[in-house]
Amino acid sequence: MKLLNSLGPNPRLVRMFAEEKGLELATDEIDIMAGENRQPSYLEKNPGGQLPALQLDDGSVLAETIAICEYLEELHPQPALIGATPEQRGAARMWTRRIEQKIVQPLTDGFRFAEGLAMFKDRLHVIPQAADDLKATAQEGLTWLDGQLGSKPFIAGDRFSLADIVLYSFLDFGRGVGQPIDPSNKNLAAWFERVTERPSADASLHAAARAGGMRA
Amino acid sequence: MKLLNSLGPNPRLVRMFAEEKGLELATDEIDIMAGENRQPSYLEKNPGGQLPALQLDDGSVLAETIAICEYLEELHPQPALIGATPEQRGAARMWTRRIEQKIVQPLTDGFRFAEGLAMFKDRLHVIPQAADDLKATAQEGLTWLDGQLGSKPFIAGDRFSLADIVLYSFLDFGRGVGQPIDPSNKNLAAWFERVTERPSADASLHAAARAGGMRA
């Protein structure tokens, strides 16, 4: 099993998920800046053309970030990052989904259609005239989530889960591309600091740059 | 356990999923046309404000379509619509995700920001200037998927899965709002006819209108 890995918040969140589980995954680095993921040698592995993907030992390839995390959890249930019961898993999946729809999708498309336009314009159907509204939508989603979070330590309640990892990876990306957390969202700002203190946050950030692939 | 149910492709796909499993779910009908889902009595159950949601016997509410389907599969594994093994589940989740990102999201936002604008403009951050490009993006996704489908009977291969149900529900919705399958996508058009012939396709369509809630 090896992770087809690259820059970007999606591979980073899979690395952070694996770090939290203490998993060591071999990696192949794919150069997305050079468009290696749009070349036939990658597309025959993952016709979706995106990173990351997980190449299994039988040669088949599992793509899509959340599907990869679900697969890793099934093979390595402890510690449970999706959940240990159907109800826990339901809650983590629900919150992950809300975060993806209300925050991650508009944040990333807002980036792709503006700051990322030069990179993405030949790879995706870009919609530059939507960029400002998409960024505003993501911020509205964050303000909604701040109210939902309240005094809970983590997104799904008392336990750290996939929902936190998805949100963290994309907000850490967002603050680097002009979409930071508005400081008036105090619950989220405090949550971001809490997650930053986890060893997996730093380790997953630097994993791609380490020789020999992914450490944990 | 009861389904908080309404018009629309998301509740329909959960009903179709349940029909395929032979599950009988009690329903409460929520009038989304009248905005009942944006009223406090619904928002305290599902602060995301969307339909469907699944109210569990302990009173907790599980929202988000895919999370609900995963939960139903965990409680009722047969017939497997996500999968019977980690690898099967991985494949179904991967294809579901690709369909959501490449087709469902741009198709539904294309609708919400154009034909659905009067209904959604006070409920969502609408981006009317993106509607035409979103619809075009969804059609490009369908053409990509047509090539991926090829001669396979179903999206994830030989077996009918959640990926087919998600795609079917949204394409059946799409053809009613000016976003039909381009007939040049012959593989998808044939797939659509195959899925239409399943009893669950018709039963799920009419379920919301039946007295006494959802039959199966």
Cα gap B146→B141, rounded to integer Å:
9
Q: Determine the pLDDT at residue B207.
A: 59
Q: Determine the pLDDT at residue B208.
A: 55
B105: chain A residues, CB-CB within 8 Å? 105
Looking at residues B21-35, what average pLDDT do you find?
93
B98: chain A residues, CB-CB within 8 Å? 48, 63-64
Q: Tell me if A93 and B67 make a contact (CB, 8 A cut-off).
A: yes
Q: Edge-to-edge strands of the sheet including A26-29?
A: A26-29, A2-5, A53-55, A61-63
Spell out the per-residue pLDDT of chain A, length 216, in tens: 999 999 999 999 999 999 999 999 999 999 998 999 999 999 999 999 999 999 999 999 999 999 999 999 999 999 999 999 999 999 999 999 999 999 999 999 999 999 999 999 999 999 999 999 999 999 999 999 999 999 999 999 999 999 999 999 999 999 999 999 999 999 999 999 999 999 999 999 875 544 343 333
Q: Tell me if B60 and A87 make a contact (CB, 8 A cut-off).
A: yes
CA distances, B98 to each of A82, A129, A167, B95, B167 (Å): 21, 24, 20, 5, 10
ipTM of the complex: 0.95
β-strand pairing of B61-63 with B53-55: antiparallel
B67: chain A residues, CB-CB within 8 Å? 90, 93-94, 97
Look up residue B41 and give its amino acid. S
For A85, which residue in chain B has the nearest alpha carbon?
B74
Q: Is A90 on the interface with B (CB under 8 A)?
A: yes
A97: chain B residues, CB-CB within 8 Å? 64, 66-67
Cα gap B72→B216, rounded to integer Å:
13
Q: Please state the pTM of the whole predicted model.
A: 0.95
Contact (CB, 8 A) for B127 and A130 = yes
Q: Is it the case that residue B185 has pLDDT exceeding 50? A: yes
A–B interface: beta-carbon pairs under 8 A: 90
> What is the maximum span of chain B, computed from C-alpha positions, in angstroms?
49
For A69-101, give one letter per residue: b (16+ CB within 10 A) or e.
Answer: bbbbbeeeeeebbbbeebebbbbbbbbbbbbbb
Looking at residues B121-150, what average pLDDT do you find?
97
Q: Determine the pLDDT at residue A215.
A: 34
Q: Determine the pLDDT at residue A205.
A: 87
